Amino acid sequence: MPRALAERVVGLKPSATVEMTERVRNARAAGRKIIGLSSGDPNIATDPRIIEAAEHAMRGGDTHYGPPAGLPALREAIVRRDAVRSGVTYDPADVIVTPGGKFALLTALMGTIEAGDEVLVPEPGWVSYGPCVRLCGGTPIGISMLDRIDAAALSRVVSPRTKAIIVNSPVNPTGRVLSAAEIETVLAFARQHDLWILFDQVYSDLLYEGKFPNPQSLPGGQERVFVIDSLSKTFGMTGWRLGCLLTPPGLSKTILKFIQHSIYCVPGFIQAAGIVALSLEAELVPRYRKMFRARLETAAARLSAVPGISCSVPPATFYLFPSVAAPDAEVAKRWLDTIDVATVPGSSFGASGTGHLRLSLTCSDRELDDALDRIARVGIAA
C-alpha cells in the first residue's frame, strides 16, 4: 500500500457549494432538469468587449510569463477602483493580482498564519474560510456574526494564539452589510490584540442601499488590513479566475514570494480582459445590480408567503437566506429530490446558519419563477 496522503487535505471537508454544483451538473448530464439556486456563479454572460480584449492580447503574443504581481495597468485600475469605494489610495506596488478571490484569501493567510495560529472566522460564512486557514497550518475559530458582531463574544474566544480575524461584508451567505459601528468594533478589537484583519469585500459592487463601511478607510486601518477582492461576481467572470489582494503598505514584496513559488503569475490575456472590465464598470454594474435586486424582492415576497419560511430582502448580493421551520438539510434534500430545485443548507456555512437555506438567484428569471412555483407547491414539510 502507498503511504497516506497529507492530513492537510485528508482532514478537509469538501466545499459544500462546489459539491452541490457538481451534483447538479451530474444530474443534468443524466437528464434531470435541475433548477440551480445553489451556485454563486451569476448568469451574466461576460461582455463581448471583455472577451475581445483577451483574444486581442493572445493574438498579440501575450501568452508568456508576466510579472508575478500583475500587470501595472491592472494594478493601477484596481487602486482607482478601491479609492472610489474606500477613499483610500493604495500604492500599486501593494496590489497583487491573483487567480480569483479565493487565492487572494489563501495568499493573505499564507503570508500571516503559521502552524498553531488561530484565526477567527465568521459564521455563517463562506465555506472556504476555515479550510484555507487549515491549509496554512492554522486553526479556524468560528464566531457567530449572523445579525451582529458581538465584541464580548470576540473577547471570549481570543487567545495568545489568535493571529487574525476574517471579516466579510457584504456577507456570503446572508447578504448582510456590516455597519460602521461593527467595522469600528472589529478594528478596535484587532488593535487591542494585535491581529491582522482579512477583509473580504468581493460582493461590494452588489450593494443596493446605504453605504459600504470598510476597515481600510479608518484611521490606522490600512496598516493591518488585507483586502480580498474579485471581478468574478461583478462582471460574470467566475471562470476567468481573476481577483486581487491589497496588502498593508510595504508587505506585498515579501508575500509575493508565495505567488512566485506557486502560480508564478495570472495569464496576461486574462489581466487584459480585467483592465477592460474595470473600464466598463460604470456602464455594466448598475444594470446587473438592478436585475439582481428585482429578483431578490420578488423571491423574498413569494418565499415568505410559504408557511414555515421567513425571508427578508438583504441590502446586497444575489443571495437570500430565509429561515425555515424544519431541519435545513432535510428541506434542501427534499427540494432537490422531489422538485429538482437545488439550494444549500444554512448549516453548511457554520453552526449559526442552522435553520436557514441559502438561495442564490443566479438562474434566469424564467427558471426562478418556476422554482418558486415548485417551492410554494411542496412547502417545507415532509
Range of the domain at 295: 7-46+282-378
What is the rounded average pLDDT of the residues 119-123?
97
Q: Determine the pLDDT at residue 382.
A: 64
Q: Determine the pLDDT at residue 129.
A: 97
Q: Determine the pLDDT at residue 21.
A: 77
Model confidence over 349-380: pLDDT tens digits? 999 999 999 999 999 999 999 999 999 999 99
Burial string for 94-126 (b: 16+ CB within 10 Å, else e) reads: bbbbbbbbbbbbbbbbbbbbeeebbbbbbbbbb
Q: Are residues 344 and 291 in the same domain?
A: yes
Tell me if 2 is assigned to some domain: no
Q: Are residues 357 and 308 in the same domain?
A: yes
* pLDDT surpassing 70 at residue 160: yes
Sheet bearing 162-168, strands edge to edge: 95-98, 243-246, 225-230, 196-200, 162-168, 118-123, 139-144
Q: What share of the chain in percent tops pLDDT 90?
A: 89
Model confidence over 74-104: pLDDT tens digits? 999 999 999 999 999 999 999 999 999 999 9
What is the rounded average pLDDT of the residues 108-113?
98
Model confidence over 34-51: pLDDT tens digits? 999 999 999 999 999 999
Domain end marker among 262, 280, 298: 280
Q: Is 89 helix (H, G, I), strand (E, B) or coil?
A: coil
Torsion angle (degrees, nearest 10) of CA 299, 303, 304, 309: -140
d(CA 39, CA 124): 16
Q: Are residues 343 and 226 in the same domain?
A: no
Q: Are residues 138 and 268 in the same domain?
A: yes
Q: Determine the pLDDT at residue 211.
A: 87
Domain end marker among 246, 262, 280: 280
Q: Determine the pLDDT at residue 273.
A: 98
Tell me if 291 is assigned to some domain: yes
* pLDDT surpassing 90 at residue 346: yes
d(CA 292, CA 314): 11
Tell me if 70 is assigned to some domain: yes
Q: Are residues 245 and 133 in the same domain?
A: yes
Residue among 260, 262, 153, 245 at smallest CA distance from 202: 245
Q: Are residues 276 and 300 in the same domain?
A: no
Cell triple for 298: 420578488
Q: Are residues 249 and 183 in the same domain?
A: yes
Tell me if 28 is assigned to some domain: yes
> CATH number of the domain that 167 lies in?
3.40.640.10
Model confidence over 280-327: pLDDT tens digits? 999 999 999 999 999 999 999 999 999 999 999 999 999 999 999 999
Say how many C-beta atoms besides its own lie within 10 A of residue 65's C-beta.
Answer: 9
pLDDT band for position 13 (cuts 50, 70, 90) = confident
Q: Are residues 310 and 189 in the same domain?
A: no
Model confidence over 222-263: pLDDT tens digits? 999 999 999 999 999 999 999 999 999 999 999 999 999 999
Q: Are residues 158 and 270 in the same domain?
A: yes
Q: Is the pTM of this model over 0.85?
A: yes
Q: Are residues 238 and 204 in the same domain?
A: yes
> CATH number of the domain that 359 lies in?
3.90.1150.10
Domain end marker among 265, 280, 295: 280
What is the rounded average pLDDT of the residues 66-72?
98
d(CA 104, CA 112): 13
Tell me if 335 is assigned to some domain: yes
Q: Are residues 126 and 239 in the same domain?
A: yes
Q: Are residues 243 and 308 in the same domain?
A: no
Q: Is 306 helix (H, G, I), strand (E, B) or coil?
A: coil
Tell me if 1 is assigned to some domain: no
Tell me if 218 is assigned to some domain: yes
Tell me if 153 is assigned to some domain: yes
Number of domains in the chain: 2
pLDDT band for position 1 (cuts 50, 70, 90) = low
To the nearest whole number, what is the mean pLDDT of the chain?
A: 95
Model confidence over 187-231: pLDDT tens digits? 999 999 999 999 999 999 999 988 899 999 999 999 999 999 999
Angle value at C-alpha 243, between 359 and 256, nearest 5 degrees:
140
Residue among 105, 104, 114, 28 at smallest CA distance from 70: 104
